[in-house]
């Protein structure tokens, strides 16, 4: 068998490698794509006979360039992407030394591996479709590799579909029934490529910088009514320590959970969280319970490990609540602490307002809101602030984002002797009415204040609502659309151009498909038990076995039925098969390298009475093999049928003659024994 590649097989090899590598080029540096283009061009020139295969020292130099590119573009934080770049480079270099089928198989196996690695970075429905198409192309290249025909790509496509389509029903069956188990090993993904998000410390300008990104933070699907926009406060982090400029998580907080003494207006929902590489989980304020995570300290949801892949968790929250009505001395001191040698003007202003409010907390809060509503400006691009950031914001710039207003409010409260803290999370979310879920993006990041009232416990106060109430009532993308800093990191973001009309509806429809994909495919383990109960009733080992074996047997039976030997539609092939069966019945099996004429001459040695028909068959096949234009296919078909008929009749005569001879011999033997 010829071990060299046909032109069609080589074309399929190039298509397969590009189909497998294309999704990775979105996360790899430009030189990776240029390297693949160059190697493809060189391989085409080699195929056309213009260039020769490069010598070993050229390939060694290319390998050195690849290593230099890896050292320049990647570090320890992007190790996984560097590994993919190395694999892509090795696959590209393999194009320069494909001589035989064995070399091509190595490239095919590398392509399969590249398709699988794609899911480490993206698991959306689009990535799944791209992987399925790439898998079909790579399998088509494998089919073409063992097809001796030089051209005609359609037979390879048909062969690929015949291999893939029967496997799909079994794949769906195993997906629905087989329980999920955790991975035996894990791959550390790129921590340096983490999406913009909340961190465990925040300065006044940090929140506004998140509006530069359109990246998805999470989606939330509700079992019942969806909260109004003014109630969509997603609690993630609670900052209690203040150093005069930045707020940070309290290291003394510990695992003690603050108690919810009154809870009204419960919401039950599921959140599908995007990778953040941090353990903090956003939940609707205030959470009562979280499945798959822990609630700690000031009702913060924390996972057991950083969120390095898309994850889901269920939450029950209360929209009206009373949180920790009594503070112990330690907690009170922690939420009153601040540097007394900084922001002196703010401290003096707080003391003045507290005296004017006669120690009434509600009046003091209204005074803060009234002050912000006078001359302050809500902007995404506030001026830079120095060490006394709160003083500069309140008395000089008076321009800021939610972080500025929240930080100033919390310090005013603490300076007046009221325990206060900063809460970081998200506010709002785009509601998809068709699918019934909320989409929250990084531009929805928000900060607000909680202060402690001895009668009501921790109370939420959002000072942003005083200066810009539209931030709470409107969608963030509508409010910030004309702000110069909005989506500054993504000037060509599709979300800029799909916020109205049919483009908005199309985007929401696509997003709903992704949400269903994430919920029912990627996070199917959370839905599997409920679905199996609805299908099987009670889940028992016997029912699970029957649910797997009966459909599995039907699928395998259908596949086996389609793989049965079928009668050819070609008249010449049918005639050849009929002749072979008759010859095999006579004890003459056709050898793989034997022509029909040679087989006829072998049969002639024993069945001489059929010599004319056998000689005619050998003569016609010889003419057709060497002078096909002089022989009609119908003539060969008639010859094959005639020989099969003659041999069958000859076989019947021989069998009858042998039977009569045997009967005669038996009678003679019986007569002889009687005479004796």
Q: Could you tell me the CA-to-CA distances from 632 to 545, 568, 577, 618, 636 in Å, in that order?
A: 59, 20, 19, 15, 7
- Compute the CA torsion angle 499, 505, 510, 515 (nearest 10 deg): 90
pLDDT band at 453 (very low <50, low <70, confident <90, very high): very high
Same domain? 146 vs 227: no
- Is the per-residue pLDDT at 254 higher than 80? no
Clarify whether residues 219 and 144 are in a common domain: no
Clarify whether residues 120 and 223 are in a common domain: no
Do 389 and 245 form a contact (C-beta atoms < 8 A)?
yes
Does the annotation mark 453 as catalytic?
A: no
The full DSSP string for 367-429 is HHHHHHHHH-EE-SSPPP--SSHHHHIIIII-EE-HHHHHHHHHHHHHHTT--EEEEEEEE--
Q: Domains in the chain: how many in total?
A: 3
Extract the tokens encoding 608.
């001489």
| Residue-averaged pLDDT of the chain | 81
Q: Quick check: 88 pLDDT over 50?
A: yes
Q: How many residues does the chain have?
A: 676
Does the residue 551 lie in any domain? no
Rounded Cα distance between 421 and 371, Å, is 20
Structural element, H or E, at residue 115: helix 101-117
Give CA–CA dist 33/244, Å, rounded: 49
User: Is 228 found in the same domain as 140?
Assistant: no
CA distance 186 to 648: 68
**pLDDT at residue 46 tops 60:** yes
- Domain check: are 212 and 309 in the same one? yes
The per-residue DSSP string of 251-271 comes to: TT--SPPPPEEEEEEEEEEEE
Do both 251 and 142 map to the same domain?
no
Looking at per-residue pLDDT, the higher value among 228 and 611 belongs to 228
To the query of whether residue 277 is one of the catalytic residues in this protein, the response is no
The pLDDT tens digits for 178-213 are 776 655 555 555 544 444 467 788 887 666 666 667
Residue 406: inside a domain, yes or no?
Answer: yes
Does residue 255 surpass a pLDDT of 70?
Answer: no
- Which helix (H) or strand (E) segment holds residue 446: the answer is strand 445-453
Helices and strands (H and E) in the chain: how many: 24, 19
The H-assigned helical ranges of 518-610 are 528-536, 541-562, 571-585, 596-604
Q: Which of 402, 404, 444, 518 is catalytic?
A: 402
Closest CA to 347 of 388, 319, 375: 388
Q: Please, are residues 266 and 320 in contact by the beta-carbon 8 Å criterion?
A: no
Higher-confidence position of 578 and 464: 464
pLDDT at 461: 94
Q: Is residue 482 predicted with pLDDT exceeding 80?
A: no
Give the residue from 490, 505, 522 where a domain finishes: 490
pTM score > 0.85 for this model?
no
Residue 12 resides in a domain: yes
Cα(193)–Cα(183) distance, rounded to whole angstroms?
23
Residue of 295 and 163 predicted with greater confidence:
295
Identify the pLDDT of residue 371.
Answer: 92
pLDDT at residue number 660: 74
Residue found by looking up tokens 């803060």 in the block: 368
Domain of 16, in residue numbers: 7-152
Q: What is the per-residue pLDDT for 181?
A: 63
Q: Is residue 651 part of a domain?
A: yes
Same domain, 291 and 214: yes
What average pLDDT does this structure show over 380-406?
86
Among residues 460, 490, 520, the one where a domain terminates is 490
* pLDDT for residue 283 is more than 90: yes
Compute the distance between CA of residue 92 and CA of residue 105 in angstroms, rounded to an integer: 14
In a domain, 379, yes or no: yes
Q: Which pLDDT score, from 0 to 100, does residue 655 have?
A: 72
Give a yes or no: residue 190 inside a domain: no
Q: Is 232 domain-assigned?
A: yes
Could you tell me the pLDDT band of residue 523, with boundaries at 50, 70 and 90?
A: low
Domain boundary among 490, 525, 558: 490
Identify whether residues 121 and 23 lie together within a single domain. yes
CA 541-527-515 angle, to 5 degrees, is 155
Q: Are residues 367 and 450 in the same domain?
A: yes
* Confidence at residue 114, expressed as pLDDT on a 0 to 100 scale: 94
404 among known catalytic residues: no
| Active-site annotation holder among 24, 371, 404, 446 | 446
**Domain-embedded: residue 223:** yes
Both 290 and 434 in a single domain? yes
Same domain, 12 and 147: yes
Q: At what angle do helices 571-585 and 633-675 cross, to 10 degrees?
A: 20
Residues 479, 578, single domain; the answer is no
Q: How far apart are CA 606 and CA 611, in angstroms?
A: 10
Sign of the torsion angle spanned by Cα atoms 584, 587, 593, 594? negative
pLDDT score of 1 = 43
Name the nearest CA neighbour of 275 among 193, 185, 186, 182. Answer: 193
82, 74 contact by CB (below 8 A): yes
């Amino acid at each position: 068998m010829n071990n060299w590649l046909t032109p069609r097989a080589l074309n399929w090899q190039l298509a397969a490698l590009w189909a497998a590598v294309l999704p990775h080029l979105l996360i790899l540096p430009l030189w990776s794509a240029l390297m693949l283009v160059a190697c493809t061009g060189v391989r085409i020139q080699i195929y056309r006979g213009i260039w020769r295969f490069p010598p070993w020292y050229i390939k060694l130099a290319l390998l050195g360039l690849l290593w230099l590119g890896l050292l320049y573009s990647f570090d320890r934080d992007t190790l996984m992407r560097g590994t993919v770049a190395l694999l892509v480079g090795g696959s590209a270099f393999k194009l320069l030394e494909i001589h035989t089928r064995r070399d091509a198989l190595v490239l095919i196996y590398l392509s399969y591996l590249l398709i699988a690695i794609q899911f480490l970075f993206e698991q959306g429905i689009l990535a799944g479709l791209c992987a399925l198409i790439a898998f079909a192309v790579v399998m088509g290249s494998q089919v073409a590799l063992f097809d001796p025909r030089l051209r005609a790509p359609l037979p390879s496509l048909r062969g690929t579909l015949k291999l893939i389509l029967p496997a799909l029903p079994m794949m769906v069956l195993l997906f629905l029934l087989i329980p999920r188990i955790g991975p035996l090993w894990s791959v550390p993904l790129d921590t340096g490529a983490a999406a913009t998000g909340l961190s465990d410390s925040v300065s006044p300008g940090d929140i506004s910088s998140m509006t530069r990104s359109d990246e998805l933070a999470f989606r939330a699907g509700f079992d019942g009514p969806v909260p109004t926009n003014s109630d969509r406060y997603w609690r993630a982090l609670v900052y209690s320590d203040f150093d005069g400029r930045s707020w940070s998580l309290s290291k003394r907080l510990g695992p003690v959970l603050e108690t919810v003494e009154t809870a009204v207006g419960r919401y039950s929902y599921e959140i599908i969280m995007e990778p953040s590489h941090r353990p903090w989980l956003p939940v609707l304020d205030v959470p009562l319970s979280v499945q798959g995570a822990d609630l700690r300290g000031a009702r913060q949801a924390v996972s057991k490990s950083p969120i390095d892949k898309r994850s889901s968790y269920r939450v029950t929250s209360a929209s009206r609540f009373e949180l920790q009505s009594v503070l112990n001395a330690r907690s009170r001191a922690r939420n009153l602490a601040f540097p007394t040698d900084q922001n002196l003007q703010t401290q003096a202003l707080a003391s003045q307002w507290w005296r004017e409010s006669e120690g009434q907390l509600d009046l003091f809060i209204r005074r803060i809101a009234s002050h912000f509503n006078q001359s302050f400006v809500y902007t995404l691009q506030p001026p830079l602030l120095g060490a006394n950031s709160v003083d500069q914001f309140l008395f000089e710039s008076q321009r800021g984002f939610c972080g500025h207003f929240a930080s100033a409010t919390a310090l005013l409260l603490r300076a007046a002797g009221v325990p206060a803290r900063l809460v970081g999370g998200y506010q709002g979310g785009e509601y998809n009415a068709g699918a019934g879920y909320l989409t929250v993006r990084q531009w929805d990041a928000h900060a607000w204040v909680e202060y402690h009232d001895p009668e009501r416990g921790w109370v939420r106060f959002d000072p942003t609502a005083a200066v810009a109430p539209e931030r709470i009532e409107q969608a963030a993308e509508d409010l910030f659309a004309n702000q110069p800093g909005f989506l500054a990191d993504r000037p060509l973001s599709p979300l800029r151009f799909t916020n109205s009309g049919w483009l908005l509806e199309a985007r929401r429809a696509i997003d709903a498909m992704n949400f269903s994909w994430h919920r029912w495919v990627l996070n199917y383990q959370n839905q599997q038990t409920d679905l199996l109960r609805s299908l099987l009733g009670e889940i028992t080992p016997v029912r699970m076995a029957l649910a797997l074996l009966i459909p599995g047997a039907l699928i395998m039976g259908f596949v086996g039925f389609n793989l049965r030997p079928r009668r050819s539609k070609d008249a010449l092939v049918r005639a050849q098969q009929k002749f072979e069966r008759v010859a095999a019945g006579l004890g003459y099996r056709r050898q793989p390298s034997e022509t029909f004429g040679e087989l006829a001459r072998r049969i002639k040695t024993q069945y001489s009475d059929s010599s004319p028909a056998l000689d005619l068959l050998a003569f016609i096949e010889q003419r057709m093999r060497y002078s096909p234009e002089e022989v009609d296919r119908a003539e060969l078909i008639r010859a094959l049928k005639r020989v099969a008929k003659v041999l069958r009749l000859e076989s019947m005569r021989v069998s009858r003659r042998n039977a009569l001879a045997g009967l005669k011999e038996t009678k003679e033997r019986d007569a002889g024994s009687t005479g004796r």
